[in-house]
């Protein structure tokens, strides 16, 4: 990252972050949201993330005095610091992947950071990039093209190298495997589902939105589409589309706030 990496953007409150990709032998341009007055007013709120542009400019200010002392091959870099190694103590050098890896290992060890399996947490740039890719994929409801564009890769590369199945995906896959095996072994395939006006349900008595009272069957059909016990087969599609267009027809007949609160999620 060079000190001229932040370039003007034609849109207000935005800048370009321009970086050189060594492996691709080309520059990478990413649009960043610039610091705004609204963010400054909310700086004390924990949910507001540090603006990336502000962070980079802060690092530039801190490392500017070191730039004049840096070797010729490191002049103009952003991530400069004074070395603490005994062979080069006090000399100005640039942050490297090896130094960053060592610092992360010390941080994990000092604070006892563990992953979901109880093992020491592994943090590196490539894992952060995969996390970013999976988060973009999740936010765009599985839009591979948008995710690939955010990564600067082709859809094929993004899918093969960055997108991993989530915990929910693995759990659902395991559940379906166990369920299908059980039904195949007992020759009861499909018997776990009960017909409903919108499709089929695995548990109309004790389901996610069921009243959970003795002999009380769930009638909360407006919540079927977000219920984990709901399922649709090819034979049920006419029910689903009939319900969709019936709800859509009501949009022009009711208050906008009520529509947004009670019905908009169904179409989405």
Residue 228 domain boundaries: 196-267
Residues 63-87 as b/e (b if ≥16 CB within 10 A, e otherwise) read beebbeebeeeeeebbbbeeeeeee
Would 138 be classed as within a structural domain?
Answer: no
* Cα 91 to Cα 203: distance, rounded to the nearest angstrom: 68
Would 44 be classed as within a structural domain?
Answer: yes
Residues in CB range of 227: below 8 A, 6 or more apart: 201, 207, 208, 209
Would 52 be classed as within a structural domain?
Answer: yes
The answer to whether the predicted template modeling score (pTM) of the entire model surpasses 0.75 is no
Would 107 be classed as within a structural domain?
Answer: no
pLDDT at 189: 64
Query: Which of 59, 79, 99 is the last residue in one of the domains?
Result: 79
Count of alpha carbons within 13 angstroms of residue 94, beta-carbon side: 17
pLDDT tens-place values along the chain, 268 residues long: 899 988 888 887 788 888 887 776 777 777 776 665 544 444 433 333 457 888 899 999 999 999 999 999 999 999 999 998 888 888 999 998 888 899 999 999 999 999 878 889 888 877 888 888 888 888 887 788 888 888 878 888 888 888 877 676 777 777 777 877 877 788 766 666 788 888 888 888 888 888 887 778 888 888 888 888 888 888 888 988 998 898 888 888 888 888 888 888 888 8
- The number of folded domains in the chain is 2
Would 213 be classed as within a structural domain?
Answer: yes
Query: Which of 79, 104, 120 is the last residue in one of the domains?
Result: 79
Count of alpha carbons within 13 angstroms of residue 95, beta-carbon side: 14
β-strand partners of 26: 21
Would 114 be classed as within a structural domain?
Answer: no
Would 13 be classed as within a structural domain?
Answer: yes
Query: Which of 63, 79, 95 is the last residue in one of the domains?
Result: 79
Would 90 be classed as within a structural domain?
Answer: no
């Amino acid at each position: 990252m060079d000190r001229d990496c932040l370039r003007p953007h034609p849109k207000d409150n935005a800048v370009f972050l321009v970086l050189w990709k060594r492996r691709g032998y080309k520059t990478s341009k990413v649009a960043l949201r610039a610091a705004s007055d609204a963010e400054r007013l909310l700086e004390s709120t924990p949910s507001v993330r540090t603006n990336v542009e502000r962070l980079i400019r802060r690092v530039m200010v801190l490392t500017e005095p070191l730039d004049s002392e840096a070797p010729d091959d490191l002049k103009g870099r952003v991530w400069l610091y004074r070395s603490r190694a005994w062979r080069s103590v006090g000399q100005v050098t640039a942050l490297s992947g090896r130094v960053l890896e060592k610092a992360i290992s010390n941080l994990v060890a000092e604070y006892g950071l563990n992953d979901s399996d109880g093992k020491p947490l592994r943090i590196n740039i490539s894992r952060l990039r995969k996390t970013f890719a999976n988060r973009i994929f999740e936010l765009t409801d599985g839009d591979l093209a948008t995710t690939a564009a955010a990564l600067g890769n082709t859809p094929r590369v993004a899918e093969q190298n960055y997108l991993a199945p989530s915990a929910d995906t693995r759990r659902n896959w395991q559940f379906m495997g166990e369920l299908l095996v059980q039904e195949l072994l007992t020759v009861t395939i499909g018997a776990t589902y009960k017909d409903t006006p919108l499709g089929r349900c695995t548990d109309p008595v004790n389901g996610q939105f069921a009243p959970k009272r003795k002999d009380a069957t769930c009638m909360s059909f407006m919540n079927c589409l977000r219920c984990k016990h709901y399922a649709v087969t090819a034979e049920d599609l006419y029910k689903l589309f009939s319900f969709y267009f019936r709800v859509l027809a009501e949009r022009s007949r009711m208050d906008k706030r009520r529509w947004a609160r009670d019905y908009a999620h169904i179409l989405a």
